[in-house]
Chain A
Amino acid sequence: MADTATLIGRPSIGQPTRRVDGPLKVSGGARYAGEYFADDLLHGYVVSGSIAKGRILSIDTSAAMAIPGVVEVFTHENRPRTAWFDSKYQDQVAPPGSPFRPLYGDGILYSGQPIALVVAESFEAARDAAALVKATYAPEEHITDLDAVKGQSYVPPKKRSGIAPPPEPRGDAEAAFAKAPVKVHETYRVAVEHHNPMEPFATTVVRDAGGKLTIYDKTQGSQNAQAYVTGVFGLNQSDVTVVNAFVGGAFGIGLRPQHQLFLAVMAAQALERSVRVVLTRDQMFTLSYRPETIQTLSLGSAPGGKLDAIMHHAVAGTSHFEDYQEVVVNWAGLLYGCDNVKLSYELAKIDTYTPSDMRAPGATLGVFALESAMDELAYAAGVDPLQLRLTNYADFDQNEDKKFTSKALISCYEQGAERFGWSKRSAEPRSMRDGHELVGWGMATGVWEAKINKTAARASLTETGHLEVSSATSDIGTGTYTVMALTGADAFGLPIEHVTARLGDSSLPTAPVEGGSWAAASTSSAVVDACDKLKQALFKQAQSMPDSPFGNVDFDGVAFRDGRMMLAADEGSSVKLGEIVRSARQHRMEAEGSAAPDSATQKEYVSYTHSAIFVEVKVDEELGVVRVTRIVNAVAAGKILNPKAARSQILGGVVMAMGAALEEETFADHNLGRFMNHNFAEYHVPVNADVQDIDVIFVEEPDDKTSPIGAKGIGEIGIVGTTAAIANAVYHATGKRIRDLPITIDKILA
């Protein structure tokens, strides 16, 4: 395998590379938010409320306060003063509305809302005392069932920043649908899912003698968390550093500050001590979730399957205090060529916490419905599902009337189908068997946005010739450390061992939250720019050195390799980089660089990653048991920076899609207004036995417009469309069209 190849002395981007953070992670050395200590550390335990809506009438903390070791019990009655205006609680990715303010007042907005924080000298005392906090409530009637309020859905009056609302209708979709010879009109649903990263949320606030705070927080954006803390608590930016060096998964739930951050900082400020607050797995289900969404898809086509009408309508649940929005329906107007398209997206309010982005937010849901409906259309029109996609292939984006920066989806279809053996498929449902099991083959298309966000990075070279690249971005397990180190190594022709990547610290150069699959492309592009600037500074310095060999060349005439700067035309004439730094009488030389989307390109082009997914399932229909035996996921995502990490990202996305398709489902007890299966025993994430053969293909896709480095991002594309491909395979196996995810044993047998 190429994975043990050494990288010394040659460019490294694009080669399979081991994680630079791997050794720390396998030996217990990587420290997560809840794993920092301080001599004066106090432990906080959150008390969660038990009704879904109403008011707290009384809250009795006396028994808890009597437990030895308990220092304070914070409730809405004795909460220290924080920002009055709710706008101060708004973080970078908050949807429009009034953000939840922990312990703000006696109002209860959702079940599981934090109503108290017990702070004690030991964790055990805090936990034991938390069980003794007794609240009485004046409950009000709540509604957590989306079906009960879907009739009162509305178009969100204020758009969420960064989320494109549905485009204006084009053509006359209703009329075209009415007269279409082939039609599909169906409703699709996906159950509520919780992100369930393996690491529960945690914050450790370490307070120094001068009152400065170092906050170790589980977050996808240290600077977002820092801005939230300074805004809410009226602190100076220079007094608050947020560190998220290691994040044990997040999948979107770490984009917004969670309540344990507020509570830990509040307690640290009030008690003038260091404080740690860790949530339990149960409490993780009181945080945000992927919204339940009811979608109606109408497709009308000519007899051969050429689309003439697309209508996609979605109603998604949101909280009463924020209008969470994601892109659910726009994909239907983007993915296939069609002149009559009507897309609409509405919200309906329920008494839960605000939903949030979860891996490929919106697309996971919308593309499931679209690609299920396309499969239904293929059967209605009597054409092969893959052929149907090719018949309706879109060469440009009709939603925005723009060109694609690149789109190698045809290659995905071709290479994926070839690898899978799609041509051997027998079209008729229930026509393929293996022993007593039914075999089904299904396929679908995946799509996700590709973009970079404004990001800064620093490159710094020491007098010993060691390179450090840094940015306040995050690595939530995605491989940002490694891709940054690779980029730096590449820029200087250094072995990766001579490069250190730093991230996850709000004091580093400005970077956005890590999400939307933009981190690798944005950060590495910024690192390239910083390295370029540093190389130019080194060149300038080198020219001024006595007996410099570079006196008569310009910057283009030098090369960097193996820790040296050399004449491109005469590699023998070289100077060690460390020597250049020393010649400037410095310990290190550094430069900042940045990357940002190019507005001229954006006027003309849109950029997306695409995929084609082919799935085989085997179904024991007497018992309702489905096995996913084979998946081929062919991905077009521009340049692949680290094939090893990229493959892992796709594998993880595919397996998460298997969870969504077959297992993951948060049940609500609508009488109590509460999620019921708040643990890993009853909320099923896939286990290894669910996973068999998964094949990942990256097709060639040159792209010089999405990002300076040529990459598009691969964190989310693996999950999109895969759920539909599984559901389509189940239909092919059984003849049963299940439009309501997850496809559990009882739905197969029903």
Chain B
Amino acid sequence: MSDAIRFLLGDRERVLRDVPPTLTVLEYLRRHERRTGTKEGCAEGDCGACTVVLQEPDGQGGLRRRAVNSCIQFVAVLDGRQLLTVEDLKAADGTLHPVQQAIVDRHGSQCGFCTPGFVMQLYSGWLGQDYSERPEVKNWIAGNLCRCTGYGPIIDAGLAALDAERPGTAETTALAERLEALGHGEMLHLAHDGPHGRQEWFAPRSVDELAAIYLAHPDAVLVAGATDVGLWVTKQHRHLATLIDVTRIPELAALRDTGNELAIGAGVTHSAAMEALSALHPDLGKLLTRFAAVQIRNAGTVGGNIANGSPIGDLPPALIALDARLQLRKGREQREIALENFFVAYGNQDRAPGEFVESVTVPKLRPNTRFACYKLSKRFDSDISAVMAAFSVTVEAGRIASARLAFGGMAATPKRAKAAETALMGSAFGLEAFEAAAVALAEDFQPLTDMRASAQYRLLAAQNLLRRFALENAPAGRPVATRVLEIAHG
């Protein structure tokens, strides 16, 4: 076991011991290191002003990097990694990095408070060659808010810096080796006595270790990307006595394709799952880009998105429509349930104390199955759905043989529309059948009115999504270029 967090801050080695495990990376930087370039705009991962870059060895001599919101990342995330902030980008002689210079040249900074976040987000994409066209830049910085510039000049800057020379292989290899040397492969265990009592952090390295520790500490909070748990600390000021980090476990970070199914480990981030989910159906990849911005996708996990039991959740309705199953584990016991049965009621999931989600298994679509995801929200990006819908409808011998219509935002849990599904069964695939389903949908849901939408909107929009699905998938389907999942530029 290791009792210290070892990492590189820029090129300097740091060892942190006896720090509160829920100290955020942002507070560590701003208050402990007095590195104030990284800003706090919201303390909840919504604005991107605190974006920093983490690098770690990829195991093949190279580096894996990701930009994250430092405001909701706990310091343990730094263990074995390099943390880069806006102060690290200038050359030794003071020359600005090409991304920085481009923002100056294009007037991409006005008040400057969001600027370090944009710099780091663009820098991570520049380094990883993650964007080359305007729409890609726009997606890349979807999680960064700016209240002054109107964004255009920042996007211009991102494109202007594209061609600047990137670090060479030798440099990358040297850093990867240095980080390899920092790694210890052992379970990290932090303990800190604070004003509200003792806090402990465990980062087990195997599923067996995790199962044992969680069984011993069934009241512990499991932390994956901390995109939710981070807010318990920064917003709700909750005292979390024991936390177990599930992101250092190779088995949980694995994606397995069995031919007919895709098994996603509970620790797989949305970014890591994106390619495989897109291969299942392109809508799933598009849904992920709208569901959360890059920094959140880089931290948040598929397992966390399911286990936290949001009534909307975005991914759960899509996975329920795909008839996904959940693998749960407690101690040495494993069990499997249908994902739709996991969500019992608002704030209540079918998970025993000490039991955790190990993986989710998603069957692949059959050729005669039509599938689509829709996300409706007041704002296009970085917004919680008013209505989230996913439909999977199989046609056999010209008749609808099975239908799974799942919704988020329509009830206290992600839920199938059973009456609407029944209305479809045995009908020919077409507008007529889905009109009947739309009528039946009113029996399935009595949605609420809240800040995101009125009850009336939710029901009518959900019904219209059924109609749209019918039109889009009808034999002579009409082309629909909406911003439901993708924005049409211009």
Contacts and interface: CB of A to CB of B under 8 A. Distances in A.
A680 B109 contact: no
Nearest to B478: A436
A485 to B, nearest CB: 14
Contacts of A24: 112
Contacts of A536: none
A627 interface: yes
Given A26-B96, A681-B44, A667 B451 contact: yes
B300 to A, nearest CB: 14
Nearest to A247: B111
B490 A281 contact: no
For the residues of B in contact with A, the DSSP-based class is loop
Interface string A274-298: 0000001110000000000000000
Given A200-B40, A625-B483, 14 more contacts: A4-B105, A26-B109, A27-B100, A28-B38, A30-B112, A68-B195, A248-B111, A620-B482, A624-B461, A681-B382, A681-B384, A687-B145, A688-B142, A693-B490
B381 A689 contact: yes
B92 to A, nearest CB: 13
A622 B466 CA distance: 11
A128 interface: yes
Given A476-B111, A684-B379, A35 B36 contact: yes
Interface stretch (B81-89, B310-318, B429-437): B81-89
Given A667-B451, A749-B457, A623 B109 contact: no
Contacts of B42: 281, 679-680
Nearest to A644: B107
A28 B490 CA distance: 34
A651 B153 contact: yes
A209 interface: no
B147 interface: yes
B152 interface: yes
A196 B147 contact: yes
B248 interface: no
B489 interface: yes
Contacts of B141: 688
Contacts of A587: none
Interface string A449-492: 00000000000000000000000000011110000000000000
Interface string A60-80: 000000011100000000000
A172 B481 CA distance: 53
Contact of B96 (A23, A30, A122, A630): A23
B149 to A, nearest CB: 6
Contact of A749 (B115, B237, B461): B461
A687 B113 contact: no
B76 interface: no
A67 B193 CA distance: 12
A745 B111 contact: no
**Range class of the B interface residue count:** 35 or more
A124 B24 CA distance: 11
A198 B96 CA distance: 24
A122 B377 CA distance: 40
Interface stretch (B27-35, B163-171, B216-224): B27-35
A675 to B, nearest CB: 11
A281 B113 contact: no
Contact of B113 (A3, A249, A620, A688): A249
B68 interface: no
5 contacts: A22-B103, A196-B147, A620-B483, A679-B235, A690-B381
Most buried by B among A24, A281, A691, A750: A281
Most buried by A among B34, B383, B479: B383
Nearest to A30: B112
A691 B138 CA distance: 10
B106 interface: yes
A29 B86 CA distance: 9
Interface in B15-41: 20, 23, 27, 30-31, 34-41
Contacts of B456: 746, 749-750
